């Protein structure tokens, strides 16, 4: 199955997870990501050592993943926005107990029950930790079906390497989309680095404890600093962004995931009428590609942040640039998906308003 | 010639319990450790302590231990056991943990017939947080959140979780015991042994509910607390084998 094939986004995540060595999946039905849960039910059943559990709740699902992770397995759960809120308890514990796990959020319109349309309203929740406490989650934002496959693999690798939860942040659009994909070869689980911390019974070794209760405040403080040092090394190692037509650009659009695809379409349109516009697409939302942005601000004086929300990544752009360039925003919340034409008009108007044609 | 008649079980660490005088947790920890040793399963056992007074069980039980969020013991134990089906996995949970915030996780683990064991310590009160009403608090019982006594028309009646779990088809063995007297402590040990044997034989979900004293929050002496278990708690929570289908195969 390494040749190119046409597959739906949700199924691609599932297949990529299996190939990444995922051996326990627990999930709870919620639209628009049921295709992934359904895919995993079949895929895990086909494996000799695979476990699929349709959990009684999102809380149970994330905690089954937590248990599986303690026992050393690569494990995954998935949901959509309201369900991800419920998983935050477990994600906080995973971060605190330094347990690897992969969480997929197929974002939908919110807040509350919202709707099932594509949205990017969970950016804050994903990138700020999401649950209680002082922690971060690795957040990867795929913008194509191929990237779903690639980033799912990376999510498992990063989670294991750094012993921390990693989230794949997409939406219903990318989950439902069918595109060609080439999968990486399945990992050989026997060749993965050993995990000398798991709970598999104290045979020939002292017993182990995995906990997050640190009643001694100085111990809790040191644990938090240890996490910070880990997060710093993650930021150094894995931060990633794609640039598109930025070399001669006077204006750069910043967008991720589905919004970046739409922005790309818009940029192609405005390029046809001679506007010098490029795209910066963060692939890692946390860690945010701050340095790329700062570097770019030497040439680019105007950035347009485009999100399917009222402006969340916008804050990271502002925090990164610290006043270095003009930051403009266009976004639509609630499950509205802007068209490339709509964004092209917005770019065109901004371009002339800022007199960028004169540069 | 000296003969050793009493010693610390192999799977109990050489540590001083933090539990209050008269608390049942120390006795139950010891029983679990004794059973693990007698069944020769300590090295293949993974325990899941709760949120509550017994969260520190990992300081006493010398087996692999992984802490669960409040109430999620059955879900965490499920995850561990599914990955390592040849290991012995148990969760240790209090009444608030298992019968209030973790009700769903527990019922569904039982219903799926998860091959895990739960040690359910029922002391009719939230101990660690200072004596609030638990799902198992008796009618009329004072707690810090039922100052005039639990009023069942306002607060609901005590929840018999073990009975509820017995209805679930996947549960194999459920017994309610007590540690209020030497006789009942011996019975509790038998029940814990049977629960682990149920898991070792792959028969499904096993649980031992143990009535246990909380003299501090009950505001009683240890002796009075054990008397209260016998005179009051056992009326609402009678000691019995609630379900046993271990012979059905």
Residue environment code for A252-271, b if the CB has 16+ CB neighbours within 10 A, otherwise e? bbbbbbbbbbbbbebbebbe
CATH 3.40.50.970 in chain A: give the residue spans.
5-238
Residue among B43, B48, B83 minimizing CB distance to A73: B83
Average pLDDT over residues B150-166: 98
Going by pLDDT thresholds of 50, 70 and 90, the confidence category of residue A358 is: confident
Burial of A191 (0-12, 13-18, 19+ CB in 10 A): exposed
pLDDT of residue A357: 87
Write the residue in B64, B67, B83 that is nearest to A212 by C-beta: B67
- Mean of all residue pLDDT scores within chain A: 97
What mean pLDDT is predicted for residues B154-173? 98
B178: closest CA among B170, B186, B169?
B186
d(CA B192, CA B175): 9
- Considering only the beta carbons, identify the residue of A26, A93, A201 that sits closest to B44: A201
- Ordered DSSP codes for A146-204: HHHHHHHHHHHHHHHHHTSEEEEEEEHHHHH-EEEE-PPPPP-GGGSPP-TT--S--SS
Q: Is residue B85 situated within a structural domain?
A: yes
Q: What are phi and psi of A110, to 5 degrees?
A: -150, -170
For residue A248, the surrounding DSSP H or E stretch is: none
To the nearest whole angstrom, how far is the Cα of B46 from the nearest Cα of chain A? 6
Is the residue at B249 inside a domain? no
List the one residue out of A117, A124, A161 whose CA is nearest residue A139: A124
Chain A residues lying within 8 Å of B108, measured CB to CB? 55-56, 60
Q: What is the average per-residue pLDDT within A329-355?
A: 97
Average pLDDT over residues A127-137: 97
Q: Say yes or no to pLDDT of B242 above 70.
A: yes
Exposed (0-12), middle (13-18) or buried (19+): which is B55, by Cβ within 10 Å? buried
Give me the residue from A57, A63, A202 closest to B69, CB to CB.
Answer: A63
In 3D space, the residue among A172, A338, A176, A352 whose CA is nearest the CA of residue A265 turns out to be: A338
Residue A58 φ/ψ, nearest 5 degrees = -65, -35
Confidence of residue A42 (pLDDT cuts 50, 70, 90): very high
The pLDDT of residue B86 is: 98
3-state helix/strand/coil string of chain B: CCCCCCCCCCCECCCCCCCCCCCCHHHHHHHHHHHHHHCCCHHHEEEECCCCHHHHHHHCECCEEECCCCCCHHHHHHHHHHHCCCCEEEEEEEHHHHHHHCHHHHHHHHHHCCCCEEEEEECCCECCCCCECCCCCCCCCCECCECCCCCHHHHCCCCCHHHHHHHCCCEEEEEEEECCCHHHHHHHHHHHHHHHHHHHCCCCEEEEEEECCCHHHHCCCHHHHHHHHHHHHHHHCCCEEEEECCCCC
Q: Tell me, what's the pLDDT at A245?
A: 98
Give A-chain residues touching B67 at CB under 8 angstroms.
Answer: 97, 209-213
Gap from B217 CA to chain A (nearest CA, Å) = 21
- Three-state DSSP state, A286: strand
Q: pLDDT value at position A359?
A: 63
Decide: helix, strand or coil at residue A25.
strand
How many Å lie between the alpha carbon of B5 and the closest alpha carbon of chain A?
A: 27
- Look at residue B84 and tell me if it is in a domain: yes
Asked if B68 and A203 come within 8 Å (Cβ–Cβ), the reply is: no
Measured between alpha carbons, how far is A120 from A258 in angstroms, rounded to an integer? 9
Mean pLDDT of all residues in A48-53: 97
Contact with chain B for residue A212, Cβ under 8 A:
yes
The answer as to whether B166 is a domain residue is: yes
| Number of domains making up chain B | 1
Q: Is A75 on the interface with B (CB under 8 A)?
A: yes
Please enumerate in sequence order all residues whose Cβ is within 8 A of that of A211, keeping only pairs 6 or more positions apart, or say none. A97, B58, B65, B66, B67
Kindly state the tokens that stand for A243: 């640039």
For domain A5-238, give the fold.
Rossmann fold (3.40.50)
What percent of chain B is predicted at pLDDT more than 90? Answer: 96
Write down the pLDDT at residue A344.
98
Average pLDDT over residues A241-254: 98
Inter-chain touch A56–B104, beta carbons under 8 Å: yes
Tokens of A219: 């111990």
Flag whether pLDDT at B30 surpasses 90.
yes
How would you list the strands of the sheet with A326-331, edge to edge?
Answer: A241-244, A277-282, A251-254, A302-307, A326-331
Phi and psi dihedrals of A179, rounded to 5?
A: -145, 160
A24 CB neighbours in chain B (<8 A) are 79, 82-83
Helix axes A9-19, A145-162, angle to 10 degrees: 40
Peptide bond into A287 cis (omega under 30): yes
Strands B117-122 and B88-94: parallel
Residue A2 has pLDDT above 80, yes or no: no
- Rounded to whole angstroms, the Cα distance separating B195 from B189 reads 10
The domain that holds B226 is classified in CATH as: 3.40.50.970
Q: Which residues of B touch A55 (CB under 8 A)?
A: 75, 108
Q: Does A139 touch chain B (CB under 8 A)?
A: no
Pairing between β-strand A178-181 and β-strand B240-244 as defined by DSSP bridges: unpaired
User: Mind listing the pLDDT tens digit for each residue in A156-207?
Assistant: 999 999 999 999 999 999 999 999 999 999 999 999 999 999 999 999 999 9
Report which of B124, B194, B205 is spatially closest to residue B164, judged by C-alpha positions: B205
Q: How many CB atoms lie within 10 A of CB A153?
A: 18
Residue B248: per-residue pLDDT: 83
- pLDDT by residue (tens digit) across A66-116? 999 999 999 999 999 999 999 999 999 999 999 999 999 999 999 999 999
**Residue of chain A nearest B86, judged by CA positions:** A200
Please indicate, yes or no, if residue B132 is contained in any of the structural domains: yes
Q: Inspect the interface and report whether the beta carbons of B76 and A66 lie closer than 8 Å.
A: yes
| Top-level class of domain A241-358 | alpha beta
B5 within a domain of the structure (yes/no): no
Contact B72 A72 (CB under 8 A): no
**pLDDT exceeds cutoff 60 at A290:** yes
How far is Cα B239 from Cα B235, in angstroms, rounded to an integer? 9
Cα separation, A120 vs A136, whole angstroms? 18
Residue B134 and residue B98 in contact, taking contact as beta carbons nearer than 8 Å? no
Residue B217 sits at φ, ψ, to 5 deg, of: -80, -25
To the nearest whole number, what is the mean pLDDT of chain B?
A: 97
Among the listed residues B125, B5, B117, the one whose alpha carbon sits nearest the alpha carbon of residue B53: B125
Q: Is A209 on the interface with B (CB under 8 A)?
A: yes
Rounded to an integer, the average pLDDT of B67-96 is 98
DSSP type of residue A108: B
Residue B125's pLDDT band, with cuts at 50, 70 and 90, is very high
- Residue A255 corresponds to which tokens in the numbers above? 């967008």
Q: Out of B43, B67, B68, whose CB is closest to A202?
A: B43
Q: Give, as one character, the DSSP assignment of residue A132.
A: S
> Residues of CATH 3.40.50.920 domain(s) within chain A?
241-358
Domain hosting residue B68, numbered range: 25-244
A216 Cβ contact partners less than 8 Å away, ≥ 6 residues apart:
none
Give me the pLDDT at residue A78, please: 98
The DSSP bridge partners found for residue B77 are: none
Q: Provide, as residue numbers in chain B, all residues whose Cβ is less than 8 Å from the Cβ of A93.
A: 69
* Residue from A132, A160, A14, A170 nearest A77 by CA: A14
The answer to whether residue B3 is domain-embedded is: no
A268-278 confidence digits (pLDDT tens): 999 999 999 99
Percent of chain A with pLDDT over 70: 99
* B114 domain-assigned: yes
CB atoms A67 and B78 under 8 Å: yes
Question: Max alpha carbon distance in chain A (Å)?
Answer: 74
Q: Please check whether residue A211 touches B, CB under 8 A.
A: yes
In whole angstroms, what is the distance from residue A100 CA to residue A210 CA? 13
- Residue B40 reports pLDDT greater than 60: yes
- In chain A, residues 18-47 whose CB comes closer than 8 Å to chain B: 23-24, 26
Q: Does A205 touch chain B if contact means CB atoms closer than 8 Å?
A: no
- pLDDT, position B2: 84
Give ipTM to 2 decimals: 0.97
Confidence band of A122 (pLDDT split at 50, 70, 90): very high
Contact residues, chain A, for B112 at CB < 8 Å: 53
- pLDDT for B203-233, tens place per residue? 999 999 999 999 999 999 999 999 999 999 9
């Amino acid at each position: 199955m390494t040749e190119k094939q046409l597959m739906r986004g949700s199924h691609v995540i599932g297949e990529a997870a299996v190939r990444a060595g995922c051996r326990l999946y627990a999930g709870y039905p919620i639209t628009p990501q049921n295709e992934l849960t359904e895919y995993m039910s079949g895929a895990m059943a086909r494996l000799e050592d695979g476990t699929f559990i349709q959990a009684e709740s999102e809380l149970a699902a994330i905690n089954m993943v937590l248990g599986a992770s303690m026992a050393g397995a690569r494990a995954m759960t998935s949901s959509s926005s309201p369900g991800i809120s419920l998983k935050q308890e477990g994600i906080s514990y995973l971060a605190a107990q330094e347990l690897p796990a992969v969480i997929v959020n197929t974002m939908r319109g919110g807040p509350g029950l919202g709707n099932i349309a594509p949205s990017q309203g969970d950016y804050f929740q994903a990138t700020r930790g999401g649950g209680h406490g002082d922690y971060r989650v690795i957040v990867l934002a795929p913008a194509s079906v191929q990237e779903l496959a690639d980033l799912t693999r990376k999510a498992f690798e990063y989670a294991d390497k750094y012993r921390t939860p990693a989230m794949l942040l997409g939406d219903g659009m990318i989950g439902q989309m069918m595109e060609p994909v080439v999968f990486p070869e399945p990992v050989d689980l026997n060749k993965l680095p050993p995990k000398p911390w798991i709970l598999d019974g104290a045979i020939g070794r002292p017993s182990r404890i995995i906990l997050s209760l640190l009643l001694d405040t100085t111990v809790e403080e040191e644990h938090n600093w240890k996490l910070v040092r880990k997060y710093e090394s993650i930021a150094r190692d894995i931060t990633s962004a794609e640039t598109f037509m930025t070399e001669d650009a006077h204006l750069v659009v910043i967008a991720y995931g589905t919004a970046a695809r739409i922005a790309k379409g818009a940029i192609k349109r405005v390029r046809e009428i001679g506007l010098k516009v490029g795209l910066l697409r963060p692939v890692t939302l946390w860690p945010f590609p701050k340095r790329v942005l700062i570097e770019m601000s030497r040439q680019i004086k105007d950035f347009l942040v485009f999100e399917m929300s009222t402006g969340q990544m916008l804050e990271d752009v502002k925090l990164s640039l610290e006043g270095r360039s003009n930051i403009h925003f266009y976004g639509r919340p609630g499950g509205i998906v802007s068209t490339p034409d709509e964004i092209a008009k917005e770019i065109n108007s901004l371009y002339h308003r800022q007199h960028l044609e004169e540069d | 010639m000296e003969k050793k008649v009493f010693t610390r079980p192999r799977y109990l660490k050489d540590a001083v319990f933090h539990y209050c005088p008269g608390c049942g947790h120390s006795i139950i920890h010891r029983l679990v450790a004794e059973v693990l040793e007698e069944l020769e399963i300590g090295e293949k056992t993974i325990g899941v302590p709760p949120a509550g007074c017994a969260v520190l069980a990992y300081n006493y039980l010398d087996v692999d231990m992984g802490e669960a969020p409040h109430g999620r013991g059955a879900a965490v134990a499920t995850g561990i056991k599914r990955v390592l089906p040849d290991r012995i996995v148990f969760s240790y949970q209090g009444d608030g943990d298992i019968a209030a915030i973790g009700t769903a996780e527990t019922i569904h683990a039982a219903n799926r017939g998860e091959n895990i064991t739960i040690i359910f310590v029922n002391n009719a009160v939230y101990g660690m947080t200072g004596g609030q009403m638990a799902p198992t608090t008796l009618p009329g019982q004072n707690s810090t959140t039922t100052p005039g006594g639990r009023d069942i028309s306002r607060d609901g009646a005590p929840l018999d979780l073990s009975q509820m779990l017995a209805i679930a088809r996947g549960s194999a063995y459920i017994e309610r015991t007590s540690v209020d007297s030497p006789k009942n402590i011996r019975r509790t040990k038998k029940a814990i042994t049977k629960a682990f044997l149920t898991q070792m034989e792959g028969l499904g979900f096993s649980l031992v509910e143990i009535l246990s004293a909380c003299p501090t929050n009950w505001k009683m002496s240890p002796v009075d607390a054990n008397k209260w278990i016998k005179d009051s708690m056992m009326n609402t929570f009678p000691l019995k084998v609630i379900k046993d289908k271990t012979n059905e195969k």
